[in-house]
Amino acid sequence: MSAVLGGLGGALLAYVMIGPSVTKENDSNKAYDASQPPFTVSVQPEQSEPREWAMVLDRTLTDDEVRKMKSLKGSSSVFSYLKSLGGRPLAYAPFLEHAPQRYPEEQTASGGMEFSDTFKMTVMSTRQYAVTINDWKVTGLTCRESTAQAVVGLPPQGGVAYEGIRLHLPPRADEPVLTDDTEGQGEPYFGNRFVEVGNGQSSGGLRVEVIAPRGQTCEWGIQVHYNDTHRPEGRWVQLKDDKGEPLRIRTESVPENPRQSWVFGSMPWTSCDDMPEEGQCYGL
């Protein structure tokens, strides 16, 4: 009987101690989780060839380079060749045909085509609990005249927008906006959407189309607003690069008056310097 009662007493004591032990462990886990960075962000220029693109260079092409360019078959070969010469790719910004009427009117108010400098932003977190990024704003915007001297374009042949977000520099009201070819196109992205990481979801991300003023190159940073279990009231933080410095993103557009411009389209090659009235040259 003594042995039985002793065993029951030990079991009862262990049961009683489970509550405080679990609570202490949970508190310890939460404290460790709160000590970890809520997220880290990496920004990488888009590497793939856009459907419709323009390549800008800080010098004009030589006669030999023009002949080489014209001899290549297919846009991908031309794209790769121009990149090897130091060209920097831009994309013709697709028209957001399903956006609210106010947005297309703003988009075309300045006339001409718009070009986006596109990057992919990846958000990663090792947090046990969810972290929600639900807003952002552009910071430290500075712009200067573009150094580009030449531009080669593959004009639009029609097509839908890519999935992602878009903003202008400086941002327009409600930007960034959703670009997906779905319901909600042209609406503020963070109006009812967010990026969530942690809680078993290690990464998330966005494809970002940024449109700089024509003829200018801009540098800028990003502040994001996030909420999590440890800071439910939310907090604004400045994104930093891998050296711990404030992240600076470079965005450019086509030059205002390029010394040399070509288009590659329905006609194999057109020099916009010789035929500026050619429809394919519109925007360059």
The CA–CA distances, whole Å, from 184 to 132, 175, 180, 190 equal: 20, 13, 8, 11
Token pair in block for residue 171: 């941002």
Residues 250 and 219: their CA atoms lie apart, in Å, by: 5
Reply yes or no: is the peptide bond before residue 176 cis, omega within 30 of 0: yes
Output the pLDDT for position 87: 97
Output the pLDDT for position 180: 86
The CA–CA distances, whole Å, from 270 to 24, 74, 78, 104, 106 equal: 73, 15, 14, 29, 30
Output the pLDDT for position 22: 53
Output the pLDDT for position 146: 96
Output the pLDDT for position 12: 46
Output the pLDDT for position 4: 43
What pLDDT tens digit does each residue of the chain (284 aa) get? Answer: 455 445 545 554 455 555 565 555 555 667 778 888 899 999 999 888 998 999 999 999 999 999 999 999 889 999 999 999 999 999 999 888 888 876 655 544 445 689 999 999 999 999 998 999 999 999 999 999 999 999 999 988 766 678 899 999 999 888 999 998 777 899 999 998 999 999 888 888 899 999 999 999 999 999 999 999 888 899 999 999 888 899 999 999 999 999 999 998 766 788 888 877 666 776 77
Stated pTM of the model: 0.84
Output the pLDDT for position 182: 74
